């Protein structure tokens, strides 16, 4: 036992002594997760609908939401999604989720921090999108929870686990919009008092937004007054 513990500690110490590297190109860094060159080359979203985060070619007037939001307003009030779901973001998010590269979670979450900083005062808690317990057991972790852990360290906003995913919903990718919507109805349930008034939902990617709509509706019905969404990337449909 002592040998195992000692090995673990020495590995931890070795990790601490290693210089930080850019998660995209491997360049040595003094601090942070992404070098200046890679940071500049990332697929940043220049302008988007404030309500749903959908990237737009031209900015909307202040206070105006996109046509989709006007037709079918989402239950959440604001979306922070700084990047297009394009290379190398898509590869990094897949490596985190399916390749168990957990060290990517703080790096990816850090990319959303500047845009969160402008709105952080609007929120009093973080709510990572829960996985169904079967999926969490298979994957061994929840990527949304890993992103939220870093955002908690940076903002001190508490993480609330007040909602559970009740059904092992089909993966949303590859489904059409109508199927995604019905796939998500009744997917979440409150399992505890929310202990917050202004919740920020955390997830890795927003696609059609059906998952966040379902979770936001559940939170609002459960007593939360205001809900925002933060995802690292937005995949335009
Ligand atoms: Zn780099
Ligand atoms: Zn919109």
Structural domains of the chain sorted by starting position, each given as residue range(s) with its CATH number in brackets = 1-41 (no CATH), 42-234 (3.40.50)
> How do the pLDDT tens digits run along the chain, 237 residues long?
456 655 655 555 555 555 689 999 999 999 899 999 999 999 999 999 999 999 999 999 999 999 999 999 999 999 999 999 999 999 999 999 999 999 999 999 999 999 999 999 999 999 999 999 999 999 999 999 999 999 999 999 999 999 999 987 666 666 677 776 677 778 999 999 999 999 999 999 999 999 999 999 999 999 999 999 999 999 976
Report yes or no: 143 and 204 within 8 Å, Cβ to Cβ: yes
Q: 234 in helix, strand or coil?
A: strand
Which residues make Cβ contacts (< 8 Å) with residue 19, sequence separation at least 6? 28, 29, 30
Q: Cα separations (Å) of 156 from 74, 108, 121, 152?
A: 27, 18, 11, 5
Closest by CA to 211, choosing from 65, 48, 76, 72, is 76
The ligand that comes nearest to the alpha carbon of residue 60 is 2
**Dist CA 237 CA 221 (whole Å):** 28
Q: Ligand 2 center to residue 231 CA distance, Å?
A: 15
Please state, in angstroms and as integers, the Cα–Cα distance from residue 177 to each residue in 77, 207, 208, following that order.
21, 10, 7
Please, are residues 206 and 53 in contact by the beta-carbon 8 Å criterion?
yes
**Closest ligand relative to 36 C-alpha:** 1
159: exposed, middle or buried (Cβ count in 10 Å: 0-12, 13-18, 19+): middle
Nearest ligand to the C-alpha atom of residue 70 = 2
What separation in Å is there between the alpha carbon of 66 and the centre of ligand 2?
A: 4
Q: Which ligand is nearest to the CA of 206?
A: 2
This prediction's pTM: 0.89
DSSP type of residue 21: E
């Amino acid at each position: 036992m002592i040998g195992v513990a000692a090995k673990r500690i020495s590995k931890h110490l070795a990790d601490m002594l290693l210089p930080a590297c850019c998660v995209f190109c491997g360049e040595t860094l003094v601090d942070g997760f992404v070098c200046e060159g890679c940071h500049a080359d990332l697929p940043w979203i220049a302008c988007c609908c404030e309500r749903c985060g959908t990237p737009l070619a031209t900015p909307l007037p202040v206070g105006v939401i996109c046509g989709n939001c006007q037709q079918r307003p989402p239950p959440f009030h604001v979306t922070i999604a700084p990047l297009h779901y394009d290379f190398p973001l898509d590869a990094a998010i897949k490596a985190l989720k399916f390749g168990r590269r957990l060290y990517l979670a703080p790096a990816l979450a850090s990319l959303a921090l500047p845009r969160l900083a402008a709105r952080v005062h609007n929120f009093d808690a973080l709510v990572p999108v829960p996985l169904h317990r079967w999926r969490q057991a298979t994957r061994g972790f929840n990527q949304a929870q890993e992103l939220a852990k870093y955002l908690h360290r940076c903002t001190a906003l508490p993480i609330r686990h007040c909602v559970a995913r009740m059904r092992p919903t089909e993966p949303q990718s590859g489904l059409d919009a109508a199927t995604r919507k019905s796939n998500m109805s009744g997917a979440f349930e409150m399992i505890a008092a929310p202990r917050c008034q202004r919740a920020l939902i955390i997830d890795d990617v927003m696609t059609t937004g059906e998952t966040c709509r379902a979770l936001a509706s559940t939170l609002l019905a459960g007593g939360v007054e205001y809900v925002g969404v933060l995802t690292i990337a937005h995949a335009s449909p």
